[in-house]
Structure 1
Amino acid sequence: MAQETMKLKPVGANKNYSDDSRNVERGEGSPQDDDYDPHLHRNVEHPTSNTETLIHLLKGSLGTGILAMPEAFKNSGLTNGFICTILIGILCTYCLHILVKAQYIMCKRLKVPILTYPESMKVALESGPQCLRKFANMSPILVDFFLVIYQLGICCVYVVFVAVNIKAVADQYTETAISVKLYILMLLVPFILINSIRNLKLLAPFSTLANVLTFASFGIVLYYIFQDLPSIDERPHFGTAYTFPLFFGTTLFALEAVGVVIALENNMKTPKSFGGTCGVLNVAMVVIVFLYVGMGFLGYWRYGEQSEASITLNFPPQDALAKTVNILYSIAIFISYGLQGYVPVKILWDTYIFKRLENSNHLLVWEYVLRIGAVIVTFVLAVTIPLLGLFISLFGAFCLSALGIAFPAIMEICVMYPDKLGPCKYILIKDILLILFGIIGLCAGSYSCLSEIINALSSGS
C-alpha cells in the first residue's frame, strides 16, 4: 500500500540534480526546449479535480485562523487591520504564484513531472548565483524542517481549538470545570483515526462536509456579531508597534497554506488550471481574503478589547446557538486535521523513512506508526502550552515568513539568474525586498510571540 503514496513522488526524485543544473547553465538541456511539459507526464493514482482542489484549498485556509482574526485586529487596530489583511493576502497569493511558477520551470529544465518544495529549492540554488550554491545541499532539510514544524503547529492549534470549544460547551453541564488538558487527552483516539486516512481523494468528501459546517457556523457567528454593535468610533484605528507583529503572525498563519497548496497542485488532474488570473488559487484566495477581512473587521468592531483567541469564546456560553457553533466548528476543524496532517506525514515518509524501510514486509505498519506518532507529538505540544492565540501567531510568524515569503523569492532569483532578471534587474531588487520583509517578519513576530508566551506561562494563565 505504500506504493500508493510513492507514486506521488517525482520521477527521479532521488537523483542528483547538480549535473543537470550545470548543463542548463552551460546551455545543454536549455530551458528554451519547450517540448517537455511536466504537467502531461504526471502519474498520480488518485488525482483531484479542479472543484475538489478548490474545496481542499478553502478548507485548508478556513481553519482556526479566521476565528482568531478579531483578536488579530485588536493587535493592529480597525483600519490598519483592514488594509494590512488585504495587503498580506495579496502578498501571500503572489508568493505562491512565484513558487508554483519556479517549480514548473525547474521541472521543465530537468524533464521531471513533479518536484517537491525541498527538491525545487535545491535545484534552484544549484543553478543560481555562485554565493548561494554552497547552501544547495542543506536547503531541502531546512525547507522540510519549516514545513513539518508548520504543519504540526497547525495540527497542534487544531487540537487546542477543539478542546477549548468542547470545554466551553461541557462546562455548562458540569458542576466542576474540567481542565482543558484533560479534554485534549480525551480527543487523542479520534484524531489518530482521522489522520489515518491516507490519500487526498478520500479526504475530499470530508472536506466538503467541513466546508458546509464552516459556512453554517459563519451564519451563527454573524448573528452574534450584529447584535448590539457599538459605535465604530469606540474602536482604535491603529495599534502599537509592539503588538503589530502578533497581528502579522496571526494573519499570515490564517491566510498562507503553502504546504497544502503544493500538495494540492501536485495532485491535480489538470494542474494548468491551478494558476492563471481565474485559476483555482486566485479564486480561492479572493474568497478567503474577503472572509478574513470581514470576520476580523466585524468581530473586532463588536467585541473590541474583549476579543478572544477564537471569537466563538465571546458568545454567551449558555445560549443554544453558541453551543451549536462551538460544536459545528469543532467538527469542521477536526475533519481538517486530516488534511493538515497529511503533509508532514508525506514529507517524513517519502523523504526520510521509506528509503530506509523499502525492503521491509511491514511498510503499512510503519506508515501507521508514523501517523500515530505525528498525532502524539501535536498532543504533547497542545498539553504543554495550551495558548491558542499565541500558538497561532508564533507558527505563522516563524514558519510562514520563511516558507511563504523568503524562500519563494530566493527560488525566483535563482531560476531567473543570470539573464532573466528583467530591466535594471527589477526582479532581483523586488525579491531581495521580499526576503528582507520575510526575515523581519520572522524575527519580530517570533520575538513578540515568545515574549507573550513566557509572560502568560509565568503568570499562570
Structure 2
Amino acid sequence: MAQETLKLETIGSNKDPNKTEKGVIDDYDPHLHREIESPTTNTETLIHLLKGCLGTGILAMPEAFKLSGMINGIISTFLIGALCTYCLHVLVKAQYVMCKKLKVSLLTYPDSMKIACEMGPSCFRGFAPYAPALTNFFLIFYQMGICCVYVVFVGKNLKYIGDVYTVLPLSVYMLIIFVPFVLIICVKNLKLLAPFSILANIITLVTFGVVCYYIFQNLDKFSDRPAVGSITDYPLYFGTTLFSLQAVGVVIALENNMATPKNFRQPMGVLNIGMVLVTIVYVGMGMMGYWKYGDKINSSITMNFPINEILAQVIIISYSIAIYISYGLQGYVPVQIMWSNYIAKRLEDASEKKKTFYEYLLRIVCVIITFVLAISVPLLGLFISLVGSFCLSALGIAFPALIELCANWPEKSNPRTWIFWQDMLLIVIGVIGLSAGSYSAIYEIARQLSSGNY
C-alpha cells in the first residue's frame, strides 16, 4: 500500500492521468489488486450498511416530518433517499475510474478530491493541493458533530428520566457523563469495543420494537396532520433527513473492504438494497411518530414516552447506553484523521512515550470540545439539522458530483455531455442545501438560545 501511495503522489504531481494509454487503463481492474486481510461478504456488508445508517437520526425523523408536513415528508424522504443513493453510486463509480487511470487499488476520500482536481478542468488544478485539507475539515466537522449530537441525546434523555425524581439542569447531567465518555474514546483498539457494539445493536433493535409499541396505540385521524409544512422550515427538515440517510464515510469503507466489490453497485446489489430498506424504515418512523404525537413530538421520540412507566425508563436508559458505546466508534474517526494527517508527522522524532501522551491528550481534547458545544447548544434537533446541512450537502452531494465531473474529464464529461450538466446540477443542489440549511439551523439556534427556549 505504501508503494501505491508513492505511485499515486508521483502520478498526481508529475503526470497528466488523462494521457495514460487507453488500452492500459482498460486492462487494469482495481478490484483485482486489493489486498484485504478480512474481506466481508455481501450479507455482512449489507448488515454493516444498515447499522451505519440506523443511528440517532431515525429517532429525530418524526420531528422532521413536523417541519415538512405529512405527505410532503413522505414524498421528500423517498426523494432524498434516492438522491443520497445516486450520489453514493456516483462517488464509488468515480473512484473506480480514477483508480483505473492511476493503476492503484484504493483511494481515500481526501485523495480522491485531490486527484480529481488534478484530472479535471484547468480551473480546478490550482485548488488540488488544498482539496484534501478541505475534505478532512468536513469529515472532522461531521464526525465531531455526530459526537455532539450523541452527548446532547444522552444528556437530554437522562434528564427526562431524572426529572421524575429530582430537578437538575441539563448541564449537570452532561458533566456526570463526561468521564465515561473520556474513558470510551481512550480505547484505541476497536476490537475491544466489538462485543459492546453487538450489545448496542441488540439494544437498538429492542428500542425500535418499543417505539412501535407506543406509537401504534390510540392514533388520531391521519387527515389531522397537515400535508405540507411551512416553506421556511423545509431547510431544517432537509438537514435532518440528510443527516439521517447519508452515510458517505461508511459506504466508502464498506465497499473498499468487500470480497466482491463489483456486487456493491449492481441493480440488486448491496447499496441499492440497503438504502431502499433504510429509506423505508426512516419514512415509516417519521410518518408513524408524527401521526402519533403531532406537534407535541420532541427532538427525540423517546422523550415522548410516558416517563412514569418503568418500560419507558428502562428503554431510554438502554438506548442511551447504546449511543454511548457508539460515541467511541464515531470519535475514533476524527481522532485518526487529525493524528495521522497532522499531528503524528510533527512528532516523528519524539519518543513513543511522548507520542502516546499527545495522542491521549488529543482524544481528551476532542471530548472536551464536543461537551462544550453540547452544553452551549443543547438543541438536539437543530444540531442534527446543522450537521446534516453543512457537512453532508458537501460530502454527500456536491463533492461526489465534482469528483465524477473531473474523473471523466474531458472524454465523457464536458459541456456537450449529459454527465457534465447532471453533475453541475448536483453541485448546485449541494451548495443550496449547505447554504439554506446551515443558515436556517444557525438562525433558529440563535433565536432559541436568545429566548431561553431549550
TM-score (norm 2): 0.93
- Return the alpha-carbon distance in structure 1 between the equivalents of residues 312 and 106 of structure 2: 45
8 Å Cα contact 1:260-1:343 kept in structure 2: no
Aligned-residue offset at 1:224: 1.0
Give the alignment partner of residue 26 of structure 1, picking from 16, 19, 42: 19
* 1:402-446, Cα deviation, whole Å (9 max, x unpaired): 110001001100011111139951101111111111111111111
SS in 1 for 2:6: coil
Give the alignment partner of residue 247 of structure 2, picking from 245, 257, 262: 257
Aligned-residue offset at 1:56: 3.3
RMSD over aligned Cα, in angstroms? 2.3
8 Å Cα contact 1:226-1:302 kept in structure 2: yes
Give the alignment partner of residue 221 of structure 1, picking from 211, 227, 238: 211
- Return the alpha-carbon distance in structure 2 between the equivalents of residues 387 and 201 of structure 1: 33
* 1:103-130, Cα deviation, whole Å (9 max, x unpaired): 2222222222321111100101101011
Greater Cα shift, 72-81 or 363-372: 363-372
SS in 2 for 1:228: coil
SS in 2 for 1:437: helix
- Return the alpha-carbon distance in structure 1 between the equivalents of residues 74 and 23 of structure 2: 42
Give the alignment partner of residue 11 of structure 1, picking from 2, 5, 11: 5
Give the alignment partner of residue 236 of structure 2, picking from 243, 246, 270: 246
Give the alignment partner of residue 426 of structure 1, picking from 418, 421, 427: 418
Match of 2:329 in 1: 339
Match of 1:178 in 2: 168
Give the alignment partner of residue 380 of structure 1, picking from 362, 369, 372: 372
Match of 1:294 in 2: 284
8 Å Cα contact 1:119-1:140 kept in structure 2: yes
Q: Percent identity?
A: 59
Instruction: Tell me which protein shows more helix as a share of its residues.
Output: 2
Cα gap change, 1:269 to 1:209, in 2 (>3 Å) = farther
* 1:70-114, Cα deviation, whole Å (9 max, x unpaired): 100000000000010011011111111111121222222222232
Aligned-residue offset at 1:21: 5.1
Match of 1:320 in 2: 310
Aligned-residue offset at 1:321: 1.9
SS in 2 for 1:33: helix
Match of 2:51 in 1: 59
Q: Does 1:130 align with 2:122?
A: yes
8 Å Cα contact 1:21-1:123 kept in structure 2: no
Q: Structure 1: which 4+ aligned runs deviate by more than 6 Å?
A: 7-10
SS in 2 for 1:243: helix
Cα gap change, 1:97 to 1:365, in 2 (>3 Å) = farther
Aligned-residue offset at 1:134: 1.7
Greater Cα shift, 79-88 or 9-18: 9-18
Greater Cα shift, 75-84 or 43-52: 43-52
Greater Cα shift, 144-153 or 96-105: 96-105
Structure 1 segment 201-212 matched on structure 2, within 5 A? 203-212=193-202
Greater Cα shift, 78-87 or 326-335: 326-335
8 Å Cα contact 1:21-1:127 kept in structure 2: no
- Return the alpha-carbon distance in structure 2 between the equivalents of residues 66 and 143 of structure 1: 26
Aligned length: 451
* 1:296-317, Cα deviation, whole Å (9 max, x unpaired): 0011111111111001111111
- Return the alpha-carbon distance in structure 1 between the equivalents of residues 399 and 303 of structure 2: 36
Cα gap change, 1:317 to 1:397, in 2 (>3 Å) = same
Structure 1 segment 45-444 matched on structure 2, within 5 A? 48=40, 50-174=42-166, 177-198=167-188, 203-362=193-352, 363-421=355-413, 424-444=416-436
**Gaps in structure 2 of 5+ consecutive residues:** none
* 1:163-197, Cα deviation, whole Å (9 max, x unpaired): 111121222233xx111111112212222233234
Cα gap change, 1:218 to 1:141, in 2 (>3 Å) = same
Greater Cα shift, 369-378 or 113-122: 369-378
**Gaps in structure 1 of 5+ consecutive residues:** 1-6
Cα gap change, 1:371 to 1:378, in 2 (>3 Å) = same
